[in-house]
Homo-oligomer: A and B are copies of this chain.
């Protein structure tokens, strides 16, 4: 409400998430909004954490993995080990993404071939094929 904290609605608008999601993240100890009466007020720290949560999610990390990563960042001591651990996880994730992309290329080829075959069953579908496949 002050310019240091945000209401749940402001958070939703700012980060394009639902209130349910923010409450869920609090329940899972990923966020720690302070309370003004019953109402949650999200701090700068919560916003920083949420940014990392959403990024982590896009990379396919589970919330539990993200919670661990966040805790690592919070821990002041031993930054070297923390970063190395983070790094190891990121490398794993990257390799997964690359494998997925490669498999996806394969399936795209498969489906294109199937469509080429299917198009021979028709006489008039060349146009839509070209539209779809460039």
A124 to chain B, nearest CB (A): 8
Residue A125 at the chain B interface, CB threshold 8 Å: yes
Please judge, given known A-B contacts A59-B104, A103-B58, A104-B59, whether A114 and B98 are in contact too, CB under 8 Å.
no
Tell whether, in the assembled complex, residue B115 and residue A90 are in contact, meaning their CB atoms are under 8 Å apart. yes
Tell whether, in the assembled complex, residue B112 and residue A108 are in contact, meaning their CB atoms are under 8 Å apart. no
| Copies of this chain present | 2
Dominant SS at the A interface?
A: helix
A96 to chain B, nearest CB (A): 10
Q: With a CB–CB cut-off of 8 A, which chain B residues contact A110?
A: 55, 58
A132 CA to B89 CA, complexed, in Å? 11
Tell whether, in the assembled complex, residue B90 and residue A111 are in contact, meaning their CB atoms are under 8 Å apart. yes
Stretch in contact with the other chain, from A12-20, A27-35, A39-47, A80-88: A80-88
